[in-house]
């Protein structure tokens, strides 16, 4: 049950970090590869969960102060060879012996690291060896120092053999990554990244998702920052408990940020992330940009200010926006209808953009 809990913690942390990094990930993908594939999203998501799994499975659970038991260290390399010999000599199934299982788990834990370095980063065996050794050393040192002084002594054994077997796992994972075709590995440029690409409805939906996610992150960040400022700088505990100042700031921050961005560039965060731009139309620039703002994330945020029915209004706005993406030409949706503009790849005829 404990192992399941640690796995859940890794998934939750991976998803949380994935939300924060999603917009830059989308922007980099469209500029370096010209598209965003489900497979690549899944691969990066798996890497984030795996990264946190390394720490949860090697450091957690943290012991209660009253139950802390200090442990020793193993500074003699290759002692695992004697452990293997002992496992072979003992009666019973060698492959279920604790020493063998421990060795196998140490190798398997870092095998995905070498694989991800090869497939996602385009790095070879030497990089896998160095990063595997360095990360394993960081984990072992964290254990040795009692999580860098959080505990008075180590509660898990510092073992140089763990570093060796972890590094071996990273190297094996790098070799396994060679099974993935070369054109699917690394951060290499896509064939069409220098030329305008077709504006698909999926691309528009991703832009909308980036806008919503970005606004959500800004709202939460500003709200938390205001609460922190009120508590630790102003020392107004009553205002912290009341929460209205933080709520006001968190609500209006994304409204103003996106408004200024659209008025200045004609594009939202989502448009920039997927490299799209609204063009054409016969309206004055400022009017067109205001309508583009109101037909997108700006309208969604503003209807959220409506009393009582804000939740229903936001749902209907989202539903209408998504439906219009799929029934309008090139998915220009509500922003294109209101501003009388077409949505195009930002690289096409940039000098004609509003």
Total domains present in the chain: 3
147 contacts 59 by C-beta, under 8 angstroms: yes
Judge whether residue 126 has pLDDT over 80. Answer: yes
Same structural domain, 222 and 178 = no
Whether residue 48 is found in the same domain as residue 182:
no
Amino acid 86: pLDDT: 76
Rounded mean pLDDT, 135-151: 92
CA 317 to chain centre: 27
Q: Which of 17, 40, 62 is the last residue of a domain?
A: 62
Which of 82-91, 173-182, 309-318 has the least mean pLDDT? 82-91
- 193 vs 33: CA distance, rounded Å: 6
Domain span holding position 17: 1-62
The 10 Å Cβ neighbour count of residue 76 is 10
pLDDT tens-place string over residues 13-70:
999 999 999 999 999 888 887 788 888 889 999 999 999 999 998 888 888 877 888 8
Does 205 share its domain with 235?
yes
**Residue finishing a domain among 194, 216, 246:** 194
Same domain, 187 and 330: no
Give the distance from CA 164 to its chain's centroid: 29
What is the predicted pLDDT for the residue at 85?
78
pLDDT tens digits along 244-260: 999 999 999 999 999 99
Tell me which range, 4-13, 92-101, 158-167, is most confidently predicted by mean pLDDT: 158-167
Q: Are residues 245 and 177 in the same domain?
A: no
Tell whether 100 and 14 lie within a shared domain: no
Domain boundary among 44, 62, 80: 62
What's the token pair of residue 267?
A: 């594009």
Same domain, 74 and 35: no
* pLDDT surpasses 50 at 72: yes
Structure-token match 């700006």, residue found: 298
Q: Does residue 239 sit in the same domain as residue 338?
A: yes
Q: Two tokens at 19?
A: 């939300």
Q: Global pTM?
A: 0.83
């Amino acid at each position: 049950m404990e192992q399941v809990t640690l796995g859940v913690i890794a998934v939750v942390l991976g998803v949380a970090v994935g939300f924060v990094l999603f917009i830059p990930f989308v922007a980099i993908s469209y500029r370096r590869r010209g598209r965003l594939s489900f497979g690549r999203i899944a691969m990066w998501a798996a890497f984030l969960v795996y990264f946190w799994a390394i720490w949860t499975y090697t450091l957690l659970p943290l012991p209660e102060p009253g139950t802390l038991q200090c442990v020793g260290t193993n500074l003699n390399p290759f002692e695992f060879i004697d452990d293997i010999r002992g496992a072979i000599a003992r009666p019973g199934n060698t492959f279920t012996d604790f020493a063998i299982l421990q060795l196998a788990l140490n190798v398997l834990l870092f095998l995905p690291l070498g694989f991800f370095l090869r497939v996602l980063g385009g790095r070879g065996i030497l990089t896998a060896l160095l990063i595997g050794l360095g990360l394993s050393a960081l984990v072992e040192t964290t254990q040795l120092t009692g999580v860098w002084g959080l505990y008075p002594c180590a509660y898990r054994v510092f073992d140089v053999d763990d570093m060796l077997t972890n590094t071996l796992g990273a190297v094996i994972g790098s070799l396994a990554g060679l099974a993935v075709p070369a054109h699917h590995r690394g951060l290499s440029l896509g064939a069409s990244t220098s030329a305008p690409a077709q504006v698909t409805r999926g691309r528009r939906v991703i832009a909308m998702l980036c806008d919503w996610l970005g606004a959500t992150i800004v709202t939460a960040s500003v709200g938390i920052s205001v609460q922190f400022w009120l508590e630790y700088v102003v020392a107004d505990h009553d205002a912290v408990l009341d929460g209205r100042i933080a709520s006001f700031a968190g609500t209006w921050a994304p409204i103003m940020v996106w408004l200024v961005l659209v008025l200045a560039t004609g594009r939202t965060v989502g448009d920039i992330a997927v490299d799209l731009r609204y063009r054409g139309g016969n309206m004055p620039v400022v009017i067109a940009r205001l309508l583009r703002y109101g037909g997108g994330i700006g309208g969604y945020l503003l209807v959220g200010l409506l009393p009582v029915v804000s939740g229903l209004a936001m749902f209907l706005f989202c539903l209408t926006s998504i439906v219009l993406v799929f029934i309008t030409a090139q998915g220009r949706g509500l922003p294109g209808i209101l501003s009388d503009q077409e949505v195009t790849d930002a690289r096409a005829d940039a000098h004609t953009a509003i």
